[in-house]
Amino acid sequence: MSRLPFIRSLLVFLLLAMPVSALAREAADTIVYGDYVLSMEKGAGVLRDGAVAIKDGAILAVGPRAEINAQYKAARKIAGHNKVLMPGLVNGHTHAAMVLFRGMADDMTLINWLQNYIFPMEGKFVDEDFVRAGAALACWEMVRGGTTTIVDMYFYPRIAAQVYETCGIRAILGAPMIDYPSPGFKGWDDSFAAGKDFVANFEDPSGKLIPAFAPHGAYTVSPEHLKEVLAAAKAANAPLMMHVAESPSEMAVMKERYHNTSVRHIAGLGMLDYPLIAAHMVWPDEDEIDMMALGGKTGPIHNPTSNMKTAAGFSPVSQMIAKGINVGLGTDGAASNNDLDMWEEIRLAALIHKGKSGDATVMPADTALAMATRMGAAAIGLGDVTGSLSAGKRADMIQLTLTSPRMEPLYDIESHLVYVAGSRDVVMTMVDGQVLMQNAKVRTLSAKMVIHNAEVQANKIRTALAAGETPAKN
Residue-wise pLDDT tens digits, 396-406:
999 999 999 99
Task: Tell if the pTM clears 0.75, that is, is over it.
Answer: yes
Tell whether domain 87-381+393-442 is in CATH 3.20.20.140: yes
328 vs 70, 93, 302, 383, 425, CA distance in Å? 37, 9, 6, 11, 22
Where does the pLDDT of residue 14 fall: very low under 50, low under 70, confident under 90, or very high at 90 and above? low
> Is a pLDDT exceeding 60 seen at residue 127?
yes
How does pLDDT run across 298-322, given as a tens digit for each residue? 999 999 999 999 999 999 999 999 9
- Which has the closest alpha carbon to 211: 233, 192, 193, 231? 233
pLDDT-based confidence at residue 23 (cuts at 50, 70, 90): low
d(Cα 261, Cα 270) in Å, to the nearest integer?
Answer: 15
The mean pLDDT value for 170-181 works out to 96
pLDDT at position 112 is 85
pLDDT in the model for residue 167? 98
Q: In sequence order, what DSSP letters do the residues of 252-285 get, joined into one string? A: HHHHHHHSS-HHHHHHHTTGGGS-EEEEE-----
105: helix, strand or coil: coil
The confidence score (pLDDT) of residue 62 equals 98
* pLDDT at 416 exceeding the cut of 90: yes
- What confidence score (pLDDT) does residue 474 get? 47
pLDDT tens digit sequence for 243-299: 999 999 999 999 999 999 999 999 999 999 999 999 999 999 999 999 999 999 999
Indicate if the pLDDT at residue 15 is higher than 70. no
Q: What angle do CA 403, 407, 413 make, to 5 degrees?
A: 105
Cα dihedral across residues 307, 313, 314, 315: positive or negative = negative
CA dist 310 to 152, 336, 343, Å?
20, 7, 20
Ramachandran angles phi, psi of 52, nearest 5°: -130, 130
